[in-house]
A and B are shown apart, each in its own frame.
Chain A
Amino acid sequence: MTELVATTPGLFPLPDWAKDRLSDLKGHQKGDLISGDESAEIVEAYDDARAEVIGDQRAAGLDRIVEGQLRWDDMLAHPLAVHENVETGGIVRYYDNNNFYRDPRVTGELDFSGDVAAELEAAAALLGDGTSAASSDGSDDFGATGTLQAVLPGPYSLSDLATDEYYGDEAEFLGAVADFLAGEVESFPEHETLFLLEPSLVENPPGGDLDARASEAVDAVAAATDADVVVHTYWGALEEKVYAHLMDADVEAIGFDLVAGDRDQSLYNVNEYGTKDEVALGLADGQNTLVESPETIRERVEWTLDQVPATEFDRAYVTTNTETFYLPVNRHKEKLAALAEAASVTEVEA
């Protein structure tokens, strides 16, 4: 029997009122984006928005609740973009999307920041006190009570998105990014799950001996928490060699993009090299407004589990394949509800 857990990879769209309020407060240019020392008014707007998206997730009935990363103007590059030893350079394309972030140029030692931990503390406080997190439709009937899930870029992706002007060596830089993330994780409040997003393992696979190092870097971050760690990959299937190395990392689950990805390649990897006891299944499209019905998501779960006959997973995280900031807010919320309902019969026969 496989337990189904409804969740997301975080990085949500800002509520529309917050898009307006924050663009008025912050402006539209490069220098106006989040730097980590926002004014009280900006902090308050994000606090309100955070409370709303946590309320929305509880109202939808998700099993894991993310903070939403609404401050992450630079998407996955955020933890570096706000670091004091990082300068933000030009606007660069975010993977293959029509989205852009500021190139984080690392100019000094990546020591402790605490920026993400502070966000998670705020989220944990809201989760501890259900009355303060009201969903955008005013509902306070939270039926299910989800637990906190932290989300970070995986070390390989974060180093891939950044420019190193300090460490001078690719492997050393990757190790420094991993140590930095591990230090951040150590300061997190209690969380049940940690999602490490690693799209770069697909989009720009590490070559040479870097694929083994990418896996060691994941290990270093995962070792910093007692929570279940999910390394989530998307925008395609992992190359065989990258997958084989990733299996060496001591994490609870690997996540697969089963929407945009080459499903056959992912299933080949799993059946050829085995997998972890848990799995994350990216089955709803985080980049398309077409909302999958709970039945469709459920069928996809069962189909996928059927394709891995040798393994009965203890747990399957049911999620969108990608972050959902690509979506308009109404569709994003409909997707959350569909994921929660699809996983609501919490166990399936594989």
Chain B
Amino acid sequence: MSRNPENREQFRPADHPHEHFLLTTVVGSYPKPKWLNRAGDLAEDPDSKFTEAHLREAHDDACRVITHEHERAGLDTVVDGEMRRNEMVEFFAHRIEGYEFNGPVKVWGHNYFDKPSVADAVEYDEPWLVDEFEFTAGVASKPVKVPITGPYTLANWSFNEAYDSEEELAYDLADLVNTEVERLVEAGARYVQIDEPALATTPDDHAIVGECLERIVADVPEEVRIGLHVCYGDYSRIYPELNDFPIDEFDVELCNGGYEQVDVFTEPAFEPDLALGVVDAHTAEVEPVEEIKGNILWGLEIVPPEKLTVSPDCGLKLLPREIAYGKMENMVKAAREVEAALDAGEIDLEKSPATAD
């Protein structure tokens, strides 16, 4: 069953203007400044005087800029835009003992992915994200959310040479994610999001993801908010099973699909908090505030306002940077306007099945 969604109150800003509080956040990734990509190329060029130390400095600068960009957009919780990460599986595989890399493989067309191989039992070596978190928390004035690629996706998007089954590999990886989450919590993290996009492609494995989550949250204090992000799937295949997942919040993209799947989540009642995608991560136009307000209302069909978080559908990294910023800014404005309307009693929650009980 879901954990302790009440832990969301700790993210309400001291000067929050409304009684109602729709927690605003992002999924994680954000367009990299062009100069950062250039810096990465230079660091790889043996003829360049640009060193790894210079690249670290560039990463720090980028994290600072993007974290502040998130704050400027008005978000209640921020991320560094994953400036230090190249790809969601590769980044972690480089930090986990047992993984090796053999070269790029095709995803589609000329889009490739350095799909790693699990050649030996996976083990925890160095911390994955603690330095990144401490840096971001040090420059942020808002609480920092930490996205981590989930063990099921880490297993499913790797070659498995060492384990009898992908399930066993996923459970071993879940134990490592648990270690990392504990270290992040020690470092002060209070909001962790587990990203499991692979669940959308193999929804029949929801029980494996559930068991992974049990391992991840073992001994993690209740005040730590644990989210699960899944995107681009047929959710009828994992609902209502996801009500049994030990999470505080389920983050889902529904904007891209025009909210056609809202009904999936209304019966039986949705148990964790809902983090609803209210702007599309795959259209390069900034949605107007009024349109986003309408999207937020879809969330109230599923949960009452005190259980609703608003977020973009997915990571924004594929968008032009000014579009990504515009989406966040309008999303926050829309959330604040919906809160004001809720405070004023202008939104009829009685219509909503979510509050019928």
Contacts and interface: CB of A to CB of B under 8 A. Distances in A.
Interface of A: 13-14, 16, 19, 22-23, 26-30, 32-33, 73, 91, 93, 96, 98-101, 287-290, 325-331
B108 A19 contact: no
A100 B106 CA distance: 9
B111 A289 contact: no
B46 interface: no
B110 A19 contact: yes
**A contact face: mostly helix, strand, loop, or mixed:** loop
Nearest to A92: B108
A329 B109 contact: no
B109 A290 contact: no
A331 B117 CA distance: 11
Interface in B305-329: none
Contact of B102 (A23, A93, A289): A289
Interface string B140-173: 0000000000000000110111000000000000
A18 B127 CA distance: 36
Contact of A26 (B105, B110, B117, B159): B110
B108 A101 contact: yes
A98 B107 contact: yes
A29 to B, nearest CB: 8
Nearest to A290: B161
5 contacts: A23-B112, A27-B110, A289-B159, A290-B117, A326-B105
A73 B102 CA distance: 21
A25 to B, nearest CB: 9
B33 interface: no
**B contact face: mostly helix, strand, loop, or mixed:** mixed
A328 to B, nearest CB: 3
A74 to B, nearest CB: 9
B355 interface: no
Contacts of B109: 26, 28-30, 32-33, 73
B268 interface: no
B201 interface: yes
Nearest to B198: A98
B104 A93 contact: no
Contact of B157 (A28, A33, A98): A98
Contacts of B106: 13-14, 99, 325-326
A329 B107 CA distance: 14
A99 B107 CA distance: 5
B345 interface: no
B103 A28 contact: no
B333 interface: no
Given A96-B202, A289-B161, A328-B115, 6 more contacts: A22-B110, A26-B110, A73-B109, A93-B201, A98-B201, A100-B107
A104 B8 CA distance: 47
Nearest to B106: A325
Nearest to A23: B110
A28 B117 contact: no
